[in-house]
Amino acid sequence: MRTTSSSQTRTAPLAQAALRIVQRDIEIAADTLCVPQIDRIQLCQLRFPQQDSSQGIKRLGVLAAHDWLVRRRIPYTQAGGSAPYCFTIGKQALGAVSDYVNLPLALLRQRQAEDARLSFVTYPHRRLTAAVYVAFVRGCQREGFTLAWRSEAELRAMHQTVSSNGKAVKVLPDGFCVLENLPGGKRTACFLEIQVASDPSTWLKKAALYTKYWESGNYQQAFGYHAFRVLGITTSELRARHLHAAIASKQGDESMAGQRSRFWTSWADALRADVWGEVWFRADRPADTTYSLVGTVRTTEKEDEQA
């Protein structure tokens, strides 16, 4: 699913019942498909960055009233006022978004019904996923990069597995993205692993699974790329360091030989501040140095061969 590029948001009107739809409204609906339960603040940051937030909030309300979006209150208590809203795609947006993202309308109807009923049990996980998505999209808009994003639901529907200890194990990332038009005309493909709890043992198991997935050839066949990185994103720098250490400590492990360079970790606040800055730990390098995700893409022929 292609979500953003260096082009500016267009405002040509499209016919849609009693509601005057502009291109930004289609992009907003597509955002909710990429990261369901994205909240009001995140959508305003993403699609109304140069305007007063009240204008964005008002527009989101209008879209929800016309079933372009489904609006639900997040059932968390707060100090004062009503609970904030989060959004998923509405029925009236399906036709336009189907054309925009090039996905079958029948599939989007199914996704719309599922997303409208999503539980809030794992909402903190989805909120962090949405924060990463917002950081990537805004960063691409600012620098002229291109971002293609596949949601957790899209990836789940691909039914990817890998053999581990004689059993077929599902490969279920939290997202997948491809960054293109990077410095030097390069690109990079990344799986996203959102680690709210940041359990190093779980992260290590995921790393072993991704290593087997690449070695099996299933990734190359399903996605059409040779290399990938796995981005582990958590809630604090300390937790990101713990994730880094879990894989870095396996330096002598033959099962991870040549593979540790795939695994990068960072934290939400760092990505919000400067997603392309030197805010990433690499499992094949010491934690006293951080790196830029786009500044070190395929830096040497040797590294590319290992990837």
Task: For residue range 83-102, list pLDDT tens digits in order.
Answer: 889 999 999 999 999 999 99
Q: What is the C-alpha radius of gyration for the chain, rounded to an integer number of angstroms? A: 20
- Tens of pLDDT along 209-249? 999 999 999 999 999 999 999 999 999 999 999 999 999 88
Cα torsion for 64, 154, 194, 268, to the nearest 10°? -50
CB atoms within 10 A of CB 233: 28
Query: Mind listing the pLDDT tens digit for each residue in 136-175?
Result: 999 999 999 999 999 999 999 999 999 988 899 999 999 9
CATH top-level class of 2-121: mainly alpha
Boundaries of every domain in the chain? 2-121, 126-306
β-bridge pairing 146-151 and 175-182: antiparallel
Give dist(CA 296, CA 173) in Å, integer. 23
Look up tokens 């719309």; give the residue. 112
Longest dimension (CA), the chain: 64
DSSP letters for 84-144: PEEEEE-GGGHHHHHHHHT--HHHHHHHHHHHHT--STTHHHHHHHHHHHHHHHHHHHHHT
The predicted model scores a pTM of 0.88
N-to-C CA span, the chain: 24
Beta strands in 112-151 (DSSP E): 146-151
Q: What average pLDDT does the structure give for the chain? A: 88
Rounded average pLDDT over 169-198: 94
Residue 225's CB is within 10 A of a number of other CB atoms, namely 14
- H helix runs in 160-291, sequence order: 200-216, 218-223, 237-248, 268-274
Give the C-alpha separation, 123 to 142, whole Å. Answer: 28
With beta carbons less than 8 A apart as the criterion, state whether 15 and 107 touch: no
CA proximity to 9, closest of 41, 54, 56: 56
Asked if 258 and 226 count as a contact pair (C-beta separation under 8 A), the reply is no
The Cα angle at residue 211 between residues 209 and 212, in degrees rounded to 5: 65
